[in-house]
């Protein structure tokens, strides 16, 4: 273990397409930690809602839907695979149709309650890097290290566009920009667990940093946090 025996919880939050998952995955790999992309869980609920044509504002229908949903994450070769009722949905949850509804689905307290409970169980053994919107504020307010990523809009659009292109998904930059702005607005203005920077989070502007540079900054912060914890043990 390159960083000693003490395991910590690392929370990475921020706006869509700032590079949270890429950084969280690389950091977890370097620390030999588990990486959990919590957005995948909200995406899986959204896929279920679309597949079953559920009106998300119908409280009873949503409660029934949630009782019929089982979301499971598995980890294969350092990559997270998302399962919805025993079906591998890792690719399906990344489709643009999910982006249209996921922020609305994520405003629902009933959904958040279920997801947060499951996410907290994953952190029981520490040694975890979890990325999302409310990880440092709600899921793990006691996280040992909290990072909050921000990035310029034009760069986020470019990043998301390239990501979709690689997957063969055609979307215009204008569509992507509108969707990102809409999701920023919904994610940060919802009543339950809005996206915001935790007071004790370190902000990283990823606009002009390469993935390697971001990883080095995060890794150095993680190492010094781990060393401090070890000194206190
Ligand atoms: O990180 P992502 O783009 O895959 O997240 C998809 C949506 O899920 C995002 O628009 C808001 C929601 N989300 C959330 O509300 N809380 C989280 N911890 C993670 C994601």
Instruction: Compute the average pLDDT of residues 142-168.
Output: 95
State residue 1's pLDDT score: 46
Instruction: Compute the average pLDDT of residues 178-194.
Output: 93
Q: Is the pLDDT of residue 79 over 90?
A: no
Global pTM reads 0.94
| Ligand 1 centre distance from Cα of residue 166 (Å) | 21
| Ligand 1 centre distance from Cα of residue 232 (Å) | 34
Among 11, 19, 40, which Cα is nearest to 137's? 11
- Whether residue 233 lies inside any domain: the answer is no
Query: Ligand 1 pocket test: which of 24, 48, 106, 107 has the largest number of ligand atoms within 8 Å of its C-beta?
Result: 106
In whole angstroms, what is the distance from residue 33 CA to residue 45 CA? 26
| Ligand 1 centre distance from Cα of residue 54 (Å) | 19
Range of the domain at 99: 9-227
Q: Which whole-number Å values give the CA distances from 118 to 42, 45, 98, 151, in the listed order?
A: 12, 13, 21, 29
Residue with tokens 């990043």: 159
Instruction: Compute the average pLDDT of residues 63-80.
Output: 90
Query: Ligand 1 pocket test: which of 35, 42, 95 has the largest number of ligand atoms within 8 Å of its C-beta?
Result: 42
Query: Closest residue (by CA) to atom 11 of ligand 1?
Result: 103
Q: SS3 of 63, please?
A: helix
Query: What is the chain's mean pLDDT, rounded?
Result: 94
- Whether residue 203 lies inside any domain: the answer is yes
- State whether the beta carbon of 132 lies less than 6 angstroms from ligand 1: yes
- State whether the beta carbon of 16 lies less than 6 angstroms from ligand 1: yes
Looking at residue 144, which CATH number applies to its domain? 3.40.50.300
The percent of residues in the chain predicted with pLDDT above 70, rounded, is 98
In whole angstroms, what is the distance from residue 28 CA to residue 167 CA? 24
State residue 4's pLDDT score: 59
Q: What is the pLDDT of residues 37-70, one digit of tens each?
A: 999 999 999 999 999 999 999 999 999 999 999 9
Q: SS3 of 229, please?
A: helix
- Whether residue 2 lies inside any domain: the answer is no
Q: Is the pLDDT of residue 100 over 90?
A: no
| Ligand 1 centre distance from Cα of residue 100 (Å) | 12
- Cβ atoms of 19 and 133 within 8 Å: the answer is no
- Whether residue 217 lies inside any domain: the answer is yes
pLDDT band at 171 (very low <50, low <70, confident <90, very high): confident
**Domains identified in the chain, total number:** 1
- Whether residue 1 lies inside any domain: the answer is no
Determine the distance from the C-alpha atom of residue 106 to the mean position of all C-alpha atoms in its chain, rounded to a whole number.
12
The percent of residues in the chain predicted with pLDDT above 90, rounded, is 85
- State whether the beta carbon of 39 lies less than 6 angstroms from ligand 1: yes
């Amino acid at each position: 273990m390159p960083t000693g025996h003490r395991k910590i919880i690392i929370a990475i939050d921020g706006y869509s397409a700032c590079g949270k998952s890429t950084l969280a995955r690389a950091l977890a790999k370097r620390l030999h930690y588990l990486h959990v992309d919590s957005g995948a869980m909200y995406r899986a609920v959204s896929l279920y809602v679309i597949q079953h044509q559920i009106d998300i504002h119908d409280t009873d229908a949503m409660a029934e839907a949630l009782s019929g949903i089982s979301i499971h994450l598995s980890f294969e070769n350092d990559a997270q695979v998302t399962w919805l009722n025993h079906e591998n949905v890792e690719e399906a949850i990344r489709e643009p149709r999910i982006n249209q509804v996921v922020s609305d689905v994520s405003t629902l307290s009933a959904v958040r309650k279920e997801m947060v409970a499951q996410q907290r169980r994953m952190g029981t053994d520490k040694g975890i890097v979890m990325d999302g919107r409310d990880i440092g504020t709600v899921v793990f307010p006691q996280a040992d290290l909290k990072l909050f990523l921000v990035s310029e809009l034009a760069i986020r659009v470019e990043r998301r566009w390239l990501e979709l292109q690689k997957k063969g998904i055609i979307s215009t930059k204008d569509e992507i920009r509108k969707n990102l702005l809409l999701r920023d607005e919904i994610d940060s203005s919802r009543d339950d667990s809005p996206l915001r920077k935790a007071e004790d989070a370190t902000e990283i502007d990823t606009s002009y940093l390469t993935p390697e540079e971001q990883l080095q900054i995060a890794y150095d912060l993680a190492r010094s946090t781990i060393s401090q914890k070890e000194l206190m043990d």
